[in-house]
Structure 1
Amino acid sequence: MTRLRQLVLAAHDRAPVEQALQELLAATAPHHDPGVGRFGLTNAVLAAGCDFVEVVSPSTPGTAAGRWLARNGGDGGYMLMIDGPPTLTAHDRHTGLGVREVHRVELPDVVDVHLHPRDTGGVLLALDSVDPAGSWRWAGPAWTGSSPTCAGGLREVTIMVPDPGEVARRWAALLDITAVGSDCRLPLDDGRQHLSFVAGAGDVAAVTAARLALPGVEHRAAVVGGVRFDIVPLEET
């Protein structure tokens, strides 16, 4: 099953965004991955049901995230990470679709591939294939090689792009799924999740909104790190 597992925000200052996300998501202590240092970043990954929200900040000059922050004019939704079958991460498939890989790592429990945004037309897109199902190494030891008991998570993200129709077609091919009607909306996780592409005024792609269904929470909404979050009780979905 192909599903959205992680939304990544880029922020100039990680700490206040991390704190606001932890309060909004009623999340446990975040995971800080020293491995992102290779990209010149610091990060925090917060569990949101069975999915995750991450915030990254540049720690050195000249990073891809730093350049995106400058083009975007501030904090915002920088990247999406999709979990799917092994065919999703096959190099030959990406080559056949004319999409370059900018990063690839193959570990016993996960293959992680980042695709060039200029080729996808949208935000930075990571395709992952995990084993066992439900695990997520990037969230820390508790999720490495296993999947803790969880419920709920990401339900929809809105991605602002210059050409929604074209980007939806490209992503549908990359994810091997079919768009819903003509409204530039792609279903994931057997219809429980959606990616919605909308037109933006500029030429920078960014995630602008996210809806999550989480157990034991009240309806709440807030703008954090340049993204509007809408949280709904899992029990009502």
Structure 2
Amino acid sequence: MRIRLRQIVMVAADLAAAEQRISDELGLELCYRDPGVGVFGLRNALFPIGDKLLEVVSPIEDGTTAGRFLDKRGGDGGYMVIFETDDIEAARRRFEQAGVRIVFEAEDDGVLGLHLHPADVGGAIVSIDRTDVWGEWPWAGPEWRDHVRTGTVADVLGVEIEAADPDAMAERWSAVLGRPVVDRRIELDEGVMTFVEAGERGDGVAGFTLAAADSADPVDTTICNCRFTSR
């Protein structure tokens, strides 16, 4: 079974401001706004980073999960981590064995995503997705590859999750992802999940590690209360 980090998602109260900073500081170009997120009371913006995706969502209705997240964490932050697998049924079996609930099945032409209950995993909403063709990504629209810009950053290498009990949270993510934990790290076929002690904001996504583009200056910035660094 293959599984890799494929998409990182942040939530922002001010979508336009977040988009502008992503464009200015990470050198990325908007590829798509998915009308399908309207069912969750959201609007969004998607940016390709190589063959990975960065998404920002923002509530447009009261009472949304994303809105409650903004209130709980005291502002913008990391929201979801989405993985691509080539064996979705094996993933279902892992969730059942671990006692992790599927709260939503997102389906579109060529893709199926299983959203997991955040209370069962912790740190972020996790989705494990399978595409009919490995590497395709219908969530990003039909022309996302045309908008890839790698002058500043070229790939998503990892996600850092902070937790009051990072060892316990790492074990829960390990059960979901089907990969072992070593020194609070879970290595995937592409991408690494790292777990650290929580700061004052509590459990959640602390930041992202990106691959620096050739000859580009390293990135070290904070957008939507998430630290972005490149190497």
**TM-score, length basis structure 2:** 0.89
- Secondary structure of the residue aligned to 1:9 is strand
Q: Which residue of 1 aligns with 2:13?
A: 12
What residue in structure 2 maps to residue 160 of structure 1? 162
Give the distance between the partners of 1:20 and 1:97, measured in 2 at CA: 39
C-alpha separation between the residues in 2 aligned to 1:20 and 1:178?
35
Rounded Cα–Cα distance in structure 2 between residues aligned with 1:10 and 1:102: 19
Quote the residue 2:4 is aligned against. 3
Question: Structure 2: how far apart are the matches of 1:143 and 1:133?
Answer: 15
1:136-156 Cα distance to aligned partner (Å, 9 max, x none) = 111111259xxx899941111
Q: Deviations over 1:146-169 (max 9, x none)?
A: xx8999411111111222111111
- Over the residues paired in the alignment, what is the CA RMSD in angstroms? 2.4
Secondary structure of residue in 1 paired with 2:179:
coil
Q: Which residue type is aligned with residue 167 of structure 1?
A: M
**CA distance in 1 between partners of 2:230 and 2:25 (Å):** 8
Give 3-state SS (helix, strand or coil) of 1:141's partner: coil
Deviation at 1:49, TM superposition (A): 1.2
Post-superposition shift, 1:94? 1.9
Q: Secondary structure at the match of 1:168?
A: helix
2:11–2:79: 8 Å Cα contact kept in structure 1? Answer: yes
Point out the more displaced range, 100-109 or 2-11: 100-109
* Contact 1:101–1:116 (8 Å) recurs in 2: yes
TM-score between the two structures when normalised by the length of structure 1: 0.87
CA pair 31-89 structure 1, distance change in 2 beyond 3 A: farther
Q: Is the 8 A contact 1:89 1:112 kept in 2?
A: no
Residues 139-154 of structure 1 correspond to what in structure 2 (within 5 A)? 139-143=140-144, 152-154=154-156
Q: Trace 1:87-126 onto structure 2 (pairs within 5 A).
A: 87=88, 90-126=91-127
Q: How many residues align?
A: 226
| CA positional deviation for 1:208 | 1.2
Deviation at 1:131, TM superposition (A): 2.1
- Alpha-carbon offset, residue 214 of structure 1: 4.3
Q: In the alignment, is the contact (CA less than 8 A) between 1:33 and 1:138 conserved in 2?
A: yes
- Distance change (3 Å), C-alpha of 1:225 and 1:179: same
Q: Distance in 1 between matches of 2:80 and 2:100?
A: 16
**SS at structure 1 position matched to 2:32:** coil
Q: CA deviation at 1:178?
A: 1.1
Q: Percent identity?
A: 38
Deviates more, 1:95-104 or 1:69-78: 95-104
Do the aligned residues in 1 keep the contact of 2:212 with 2:218 (CA within 8 Å)? no
Aligned match of 2:192: 194
Relative distance call for 1:214 and 1:47 in structure 2 (3 A) is farther
Change (3 A) 1:153 1:47: same
TM-fit CA distance, 1:95:
2.3
Question: 1:22-41: per-residue Cα shift (whole Å, max 9, x none)?
Answer: 22221223311111000000
Q: Structure 1's 106 and 29: CA in aligned 2 closer, same or farther, altered over 3 A?
A: closer
Q: 1:207 aligns to what?
A: 205
Q: Which amino acid aligns with 1:56?
A: V
Of 154, 175, 178, which aligns to 2:177?
175
For structure 1, list consecutive stretches of 5 or more residues without a partner in the other structure.
233-237
SS at match of 1:118: helix
Please give the per-residue CA displacement for 1:180-212, whole angstroms capped at 9, x wherever unaligned: 2xx2111012xx521111121468432111111
**RCO comparison, higher one (Cα < 8 Å, 6+):** 2
Residue 235 (structure 1) aligns with:
none
Per-residue displacement from partner, 1:81-133 (whole Å, max 9, x unpaired)? 01112236754442222111111023441110110011112211011111211
Change (3 A) 1:60 1:105: same
